Chains A and B, each alone.
Chain A
Amino acid sequence: MSQINRIAGGQIDRAQSLKFSFDGKSFEGHPGDTLASALLANGVRLMGRGFKYHRPRGPLTAGSEEPNALVELRSGARQEPNTRATTTELFDGLDARSQNRWPSLAFDAMAVNDRLSRFLAAGFYYKTFMWPKAFWEKLYEPIIRRAAGLGSLTGQPDPDEYDKGFLHTDLLIIGAGPAGLAAALTAGRAGAQVILADEEFAFGGRLNSETYAVGDGSGSDWAAKAVAELADLPNVRLMIRTTVIGAFDHGIYGALERVSDHLATPKPGKPRQILWRIYSKRCLLCAGATERPIAFENNDRPGIMLAGALRSYANRWAALPGKTIAVFTNNDNGLRTATDLIAKGVNIAAVIDCRNETPDVSGTEVFRGAQVIDTAGRLGLASVTVQLSNGQQKTIACDALGVSGGWNPNVHLTCHQRGRPKWDEALAAFVPDGCPPGMSVAGAAMGRLSTAGALSSGATAAVTALADIGIPAQAVDLPPAEDAPINLKPFWHVQHGAGRAWLDQQNDVTVKDVKLSHQEGYRSVEHLKRYTTLGMATDQGKTSNLGGLAIMAELTGKSIPETGTTIYRPPYTPVPIAAFAGRSAGKHFRPTRLTPSHKWATEQGAVFVEVGMWLRAQWFPKPGETHWRQSVDREVLATRKSVGICDVTTLGKIDVQGTDAAEFLNRVYANAFGKLAVGKVRYGLMLREDGMVMDDGTTARLAEDHFITTTTTANAVGVYRHMEFCRQCLWPDLDVQIISTTEAWAQFSVAGPNARKLLQKIVDAEHDISNEAFPYMACGEITVCGGLRARLFRISFSGELAYEIAVPTRYGDGLIRALVEAGKEFDAVVYGTEALGVMRIEKGHAAGNELNGTTSALNLGMGAMVSKKKDSIGSTLSEREGMNQEDALMLVGFRPVDPSQSFAAGSHFINKNAVANAQNDQGYMTSVAYSPNLGHTIGLGLLKNGGARKGEILRAVNPLKNIEIDVEVVSAHFVDPEGERLRA
């Protein structure tokens, strides 16, 4: 298990050894390694297979821009696909597998695609899989599905926890390279609240990968000293392993902190990752620059990587991708790979420089005006073919090649709000052109590529940003550092050769594909992207976008700036969906609201149903009952026979007070409330502006200036919001104050012939609730159980003699127990929402199914309730001709002609002898229940001109199940149609 390509030096801890496995084979590495650096050190260059052609691939980079070295990390439920080996911190016991190959990385049968490349070029799927049509569903699609996708999911639930977090700060500094560190020192010493975030597991950026001196020591030493000082400042928050993923509106930045990904497992109770929302007054983007390659034939072999990445592996990780290394460059920065490696005693086979004026490099041969035109080595680079300036070709044996085409400033976050960068001719790169409000840029991200340039621009930018928010600061003293220009000559691709030169290695897009796209007529860079899929993989084309559009510019005869870039969007690097969910997962996806009787109901073994966020008891099964109908039928019969109790706390309650409270209610309700007497309740119908019914409820008048309005459960929040809007915005001159009291009062309905008798055992004797003293639709403030304040409303949803009784919520549990105890002598039942629903359908009350947003008061048989004596919301538009036709839908009742049959809500009504189609549609069934009182199914529904069609026989048609039932049109009021029981 020797690390054959490990060299001396680096920022790894050789005192500790870490064991890891890749594709089932065991290896050793050290703390400070990434998976990629450890594999390279162990002589492993082959780490993946290309997406389409399954060509052998190794790491192109040493960072988050990596297109090739994607692995499945971990196994079991914590397995994650498409993890970049170049950014995965090595830990003891790490287990990873390569992706996209079968049966193995070394021998991948799917590489046959590479031989079929002529047929698999960009956009091939627009021209294939079309014939014969019948083959699509059974043959082509399954095949494509199996072949497509990168990596696999286990299908097991994610066992890790994720947090959301919120931070507030003066200055967010994105990137802790030389620019970011200089800025953080400046801002930190000035006393500002600072957050310094870096995606890496070590601060320092390129300082950790280059051998330039900074002051008297190395770049990484300076970085470590800076970090030590920052860590001691209480006003500075260092966020390591934290990628700022996007710049959002109003100075809000998203950041993903990888808290536990570098550990074998997260500590108990601790999150795997945190998705932070950072509210920052100012932001300084010091995100550095990403190197770009040059495209040439077969430029994708394992061992070919960016020259800067080669330096990183050698200098920071003491690992090499090979023993004989060549360099291909168009700028001075690329030469440093040769000089750094030579200084370490590494064999540099050649420097191939497309420029003509390159200086000598002691220790190796420099070929000026030369280009790499081809390479060889199936599972890893073995040699390169070079075209010299005199036209001759030369083959150079090497097992690694560092390529440098220049550096692209990481402008991404400056463009997240639809910005575009501008072209810098001298750099031959895009640089920021304006930023989202509050953001500025420093260092390589703005094109200051030298160390000295990064340091000074970082410090200066921090001073400016802080001055903007009134914090005086002084740029810190900076150590001397290199300031050399890179002398770049733009060079995008080698024109020589008929073979494929790779641009986007993750999506397998070549120079030929770009040319094909142009040939097919795609001229916009956005079309180029989508037709070829260049830049659409998980690396977002970080190493390929510019190469692609440079070639497109050549083809169209436009300049690169004229061609422009595609839109930059967050996230900067992939974010697990679970991180966006945070704690809102599974049972905790949203809050649960529990009613005051929940504890008691649970003790009874109630079956619960979700009603919005509430849990409500649906029915209360008794021992021996095996089917829900048994429970529900029993609850309904028992209530109508004697007395039933139901928790109705969830219905909205809004306290409305003020000298203009009555006037306010007159305007929000369609019917009249101005003259409602104190001590009385009235049913209220609320319309939308467009005249459709929005909600209904009851409003009780407790005093001249004090009302309690109720709403349906579903619309409680919506109606309250609507009333606040009316109060604050429509009629701010009215003296009215409202507040929700849904939560504050536990409320129970007590219904049935013995309801009064039961309540008389609970209500204190001094409150007379006889029929004379407390008639139908009365209300009042009373006391119960020896002096507890309560409210009583004589209203009925079931059609029985009924009341609703309310006490402060903390006593709700006590009250239901008291009611149950007192109800024993009456064989009282507690009923749930199912029985509630059956009884209101039996009575013919409209509820949510009827108040579906498309029905008017007229449709519900309440047209006369819309008062024309006063204006109210919706009144005018409810008069529209189209809503008042003679054949308007009307709410009526339905029963099956054959009582043994049942029907479904949603069925449509068709005349007896008409064809069942949309033209002949007479209306639809809204609510259906089995009525234990009548012994058959009953329904409510909306029928054209329904009021005049009682007795008619129609068909209730359910086309989804091909069922038709003969139904008779009847009154919607199946039980107690005269309302005698109500007024008992």
Chain B
Amino acid sequence: MPEHRLTALSPLGGDAPKVDSFEVFTICENPDLALASLASRVGKGAAFAKAAKKHFGFEMPEPGKTAQKSPYAAIWVGPEQWLIEAPFSDHEDIAVELKHAFDDSASVTEQTDGWARFDVEGPVTGAVFERLCALNVGGMASNSASRTAIEHLGCIVICREAGIRYSVLCPRSGAASLHHALITAAKSAV
């Protein structure tokens, strides 16, 4: 990537991502992933699946699931639609890269800055999520994901490791509100 002159801000408006630590729970703002929406086109199923296997090294996950093989992860977000994650440092041009790989078998849209991501970790994540959303987070298996609403924000909760590590994606403009909700729930439940 060429070295342009503009500096980036994190979703919470800081030069560096915010980290909040409680005794048994941490919340980390994480802007270091590039995101793209990948939606298969009508009648191109076979070509799409082939390109996916080739480029990612895995099959696209079923509803409610994620799939990963470094450096990519795929999250099912709708019929024939996935959100693709890859490290920002090497994949800032993820949309261009994926369009090249999938060609006319898919519609690709950059979503990197459409979302703010908070990684939460600790053995009490279940108790914290109980104060946040109707999604049965405690019952999620590793490598699963689901949309849900947290304090009126449409979010995606990803279970990286059941009971321990999760990511919450929210619309970027609402990052401060979601962060406030996470902190408040942590203070309340932990």
Contact = CB atoms under 8 A, between A and B. Distances in A.
Given A269-B187, A810-B9, A167 B130 contact: yes
Given A165-B131, A166-B130, A593 B180 contact: no
A744 B187 CA distance: 31
Contacts of A375: none
A286 B9 CA distance: 55
Contacts of A785: 4-6
Given A270-B187, A744-B113, 12 more contacts: A161-B184, A163-B188, A167-B130, A594-B13, A594-B173, A594-B175, A596-B9, A659-B42, A705-B104, A808-B112, A810-B8, A810-B112
Interface in B136-160: 136, 138-139, 151-153
B166 interface: no
A277 interface: yes
Given A166-B133, A814-B7, A659 B41 contact: yes
Interface string B83-121: 000000000010000000000100111111111000000
B177 A655 contact: no
A743 B39 contact: no
The 5 closest A-B pairs by CB, nearest first: A787-B2, A814-B6, A657-B107, A744-B114, A809-B113
Nearest to B170: A591
17 contacts: A165-B130, A277-B134, A279-B134, A591-B152, A593-B171, A594-B175, A599-B9, A655-B37, A706-B107, A733-B42, A737-B39, A786-B3, A787-B1, A789-B93, A810-B31, A813-B7, A814-B7
A557 B188 CA distance: 57
A591 B177 contact: yes
A594 B176 contact: yes
Interface in B3-22: 3-11, 13
A659 B43 CA distance: 11
Contacts of B7: 811, 813-814
Nearest to A814: B6
B181 interface: yes
B109 A741 contact: yes
Nearest to A274: B131
Interface of A: 161, 163-168, 269-271, 274, 277, 279, 583-584, 588, 590-596, 598-599, 613-614, 655, 657-660, 705-706, 733-735, 737, 739-746, 783-789, 807-815, 818
Contacts of A809: 113-114, 172
Contacts of B187: 269-270
A614 B134 contact: no
A584 B149 CA distance: 13
B81 interface: yes
A238 to B, nearest CB: 15
A812 B93 CA distance: 17
A515 B107 CA distance: 75
A163 B174 CA distance: 20
A788 B4 contact: yes
A924 B174 CA distance: 37
A583 B152 CA distance: 11
A783 B5 CA distance: 11
A848 to B, nearest CB: 20
Interface of B: 1-11, 13, 31, 37, 39, 41-43, 81, 93, 104, 107-115, 130-136, 138-139, 151-153, 171-178, 180-181, 184-185, 187-188
B184 A583 contact: yes
Contacts of A658: 41-42, 107
Contacts of A163: 131, 185, 188
Given A161-B188, A166-B133, A591-B178, A808 B4 contact: no
Contacts of A787: 1-4
A813 B13 CA distance: 9
A814 B13 CA distance: 11
Given A598-B13, A735-B42, A655 B109 contact: yes
Contacts of B178: 591
A811 B130 CA distance: 35
Contact of A815 (B6, B10, B115): B6
Contacts of B138: 168
Interface centre among A596, A740, A810 (most CB of B within 10 A): A810
A733 B180 CA distance: 42
A667 B134 CA distance: 37
A165 B41 CA distance: 40
Contacts of A270: 187-188
Contacts of B39: 657, 737, 739
Contacts of A584: 151-152
A742 B138 CA distance: 32
B112 A744 contact: yes
A673 B171 CA distance: 30
Nearest to A732: B42
B107 A588 contact: no
A166 B3 CA distance: 47
Contacts of A810: 8-11, 31, 112-113
Contact of B43 (A277, A735, A814): A735
A789 B43 CA distance: 31
B115 A743 contact: yes
Contacts of B13: 594, 598-599, 813
Contacts of A613: 174
A168 B39 CA distance: 33
B181 A743 contact: no
A278 to B, nearest CB: 11
A811 B6 contact: yes
Contacts of B174: 591-593, 613
Contacts of A583: 151, 181, 184
Contacts of A746: 113
B180 A737 contact: no
Contacts of B104: 659, 705
Interface centre among A593, A742, A818 (most CB of B within 10 A): A593
Nearest to B14: A599
A163 B177 CA distance: 16
B129 to A, nearest CB: 8
A458 B114 CA distance: 52
A253 to B, nearest CB: 13
Contacts of B112: 744, 808, 810
Contacts of A588: 151, 177, 180
Contacts of A279: 134, 136
A166 B134 contact: yes
A269 B178 CA distance: 17
Contacts of A168: 136, 138-139
B177 A269 contact: no
Nearest to B173: A593
A595 to B, nearest CB: 7
A739 B109 contact: yes
A724 B126 CA distance: 33
Contacts of A161: 184, 188
A718 to B, nearest CB: 14
A784 B107 CA distance: 25
Contacts of A167: 130
